[in-house]
């Protein structure tokens, strides 16, 4: 077991607490620590694309049964759409009931002076076509430079299918990819030791830059969002987990390192390699993990979905913009499309919210600047919910495929 302080999740938690203390007591010095957080995120992100590529290619090509690959993909997409829509609807219900934006004085909003560029309104169809076109990279190697997970996913699947079609001749390629994968995870094990330092720097900058006082004007919105996300994880995902034969609380304990890493960095992408490794340890097939986890980062962003509807309707309430049932349904449909552009990158939910508002002319697009000051705090909750949601999705699809039994799950979750 080792000493309590030797565990990564304890070290990350200490880093977060110390970062908050430094940011609150020495704000100027806290702001100067931003490179620590940014540097750690960049270190992890440089590994994400190649790790995902190797995992997907090896997982799919080693299966050999292309029908299973298609079946797993369809099951995953079906699950993603159902659960993501539930997240959008839940956020809409809560924000309409709680009315956090009612009586909000936009004149005193601390972030209104910060300009946010918003594109002109575009139709949902145009957004969908752009999304599909952007799925295709300019060249085969661009995704590994840009880090676009959807493009990495496309290149990985095409590569895996090509190797699978080679038959026995493709085994040498698979062996090479497996060796590269081992090297990459070795690098990751080295990099991840710097997580407490990254978490310390990121939190010191956040609190030092915005201050604890900056949370007060929008505290109710944050409270509603956090409460909704917790309800979604425990009740909605908890019910899904119960049907699949495992406890959501056991899963939370099992991936606690990844959760605390996300708290420190505010990005679920930093925990992606670790989550994939944990899912394989539970008995989920490599091909299932390779397909479900990376695609879930774009198609199953539960936390981002909750935030989208809550933030958009909050802004309508804060700016006294009438938003009837019909407009809210239109918002829901548009959010179902725009949310697919989220990929676990820090701040991506804020960017996607801007795209959604641009497609809903009823809400002033410039009002998004109200949320600038607290987005960093909202981003943490979005990222954690996204991470947990993708963990549950992977296990559920694996259970559908009969790859792991309920008893095996319980035993491995308890390890």
- Which residues, in sequence order, are CB contacts of 18 under 8 Å at separation 6+? 200, 204
Q: Residue 400 and residue 353: Cα distance in Å, rounded?
A: 33
Does the pLDDT at position 225 exceed 90?
Answer: yes
pLDDT digits (tens, 9 = 90+) for 365-375: 666 656 655 66
pLDDT digits (tens, 9 = 90+) for 82-124: 998 899 899 999 988 988 877 655 444 444 433 344 444 444 4
Q: Residue 211 and residue 27: Cα distance in Å, rounded?
A: 8
- If you write DSSP's letter for every residue of 9-35 in order, what string do you get? HHHHHHHHHHHHHHHHH-HHHHHHTHH
Taking residues 137-157, what's their average pLDDT?
Answer: 78
Going by C-alpha positions, the residue among 161, 210, 144 that lies closest to residue 57 is 161
pLDDT of residue 294: 77
Taking residues 349-360, what's their average pLDDT?
Answer: 62
pLDDT digits (tens, 9 = 90+) for 272-307: 888 888 998 988 888 788 888 877 876 777 888 898
Banded model confidence at residue 242, pLDDT cuts 50, 70, 90: very high
Q: Residue 361 and residue 339: Cα distance in Å, rounded?
A: 18
The topology under which CATH files domain 4-413 is 1.10.3860
Question: Domain-by-domain residue ranges, the chain?
Answer: 4-413
pLDDT of residue 109: 44
Taking residues 127-146, what's their average pLDDT?
Answer: 74
Q: In this structure, what is the dihedral angle of CA atoms 46, 51, 56, 59, given to the nearest 10 degrees? A: 180
Taking residues 60-75, what's their average pLDDT?
Answer: 70
Taking residues 220-229, what's their average pLDDT?
Answer: 90
Burial of 89 (0-12, 13-18, 19+ CB in 10 A): middle
* Average pLDDT along the chain: 77
Among 146-150, 312-316, 351-355, the range of highest mean pLDDT? 312-316
């Amino acid at each position: 077991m080792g000493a309590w302080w030797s565990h990564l999740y304890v070290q990350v938690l200490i880093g977060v607490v110390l970062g908050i203390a430094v940011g609150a007591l020495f704000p100027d010095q806290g702001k100067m620590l931003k490179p620590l957080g940014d540097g750690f995120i960049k270190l992890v992100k440089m590994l994400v694309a190649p790790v995902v590529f190797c995992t997907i290619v090896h997982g799919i090509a080693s299966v050999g049964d292309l029908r299973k690959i298609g079946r797993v993909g369809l099951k995953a997409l079906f699950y993603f759409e159902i659960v993501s829509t539930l997240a959008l609807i839940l956020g809409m219900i809560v924000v309409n009931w709680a009315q956090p934006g009612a009586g909000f004085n936009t004149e005193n909003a601390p972030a209104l002076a910060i300009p946010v560029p918003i594109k002109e309104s575009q139709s949902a169809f145009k957004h969908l076509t752009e999304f599909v076109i952007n799925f295709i990279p300019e060249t085969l190697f661009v995704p590994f430079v840009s880090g676009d997970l959807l493009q990495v996913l496309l290149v990985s699947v095409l590569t895996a299918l090509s190797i699978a079609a080679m038959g026995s001749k493709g085994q040498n390629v698979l062996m090479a990819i497996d060796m590269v994968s081992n090297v990459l995870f070795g690098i990751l094990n080295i990099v991840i030791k710097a997580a407490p330092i990254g978490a310390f720097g990121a939190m010191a900058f956040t609190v030092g830059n915005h201050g604890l006082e900056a949370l007060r004007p929008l505290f109710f919105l944050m409270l509603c969002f956090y409460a909704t996300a917790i309800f979604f994880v425990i009740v909605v995902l908890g019910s899904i987990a119960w049907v699949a034969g495992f406890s959501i609380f056991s899963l939370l304990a099992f991936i606690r390192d990844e959760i605390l890493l996300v708290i420190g960095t505010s990005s679920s992408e930093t925990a992606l390699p670790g989550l994939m490794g944990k899912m394989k340890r539970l008995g989920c097939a490599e091909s299932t993990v390779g397909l479900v986890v990376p695609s879930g980062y774009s198609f199953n962003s539960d936390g981002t979905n909750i935030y989208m509807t809550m933030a958009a309707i909050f802004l309508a309430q804060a700016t006294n913009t009438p938003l009837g049932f019909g407009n809210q349904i239109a918002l829901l449909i548009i959010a179902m499309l725009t949310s697919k552009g989220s990929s676990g990158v820090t701040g991506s939910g804020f960017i996607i919210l801007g795209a959604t508002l641009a497609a809903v002319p009823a809400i002033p697009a410039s009002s998004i600047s109200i949320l600038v000051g607290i987005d960093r705090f909202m981003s943490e909750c979005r990222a954690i919910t996204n991470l947990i949601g993708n963990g549950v999705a992977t296990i559920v699809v694996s259970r559908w495929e009969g790859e792991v039994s309920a008893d095996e799950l319980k035993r491995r979750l308890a390890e």
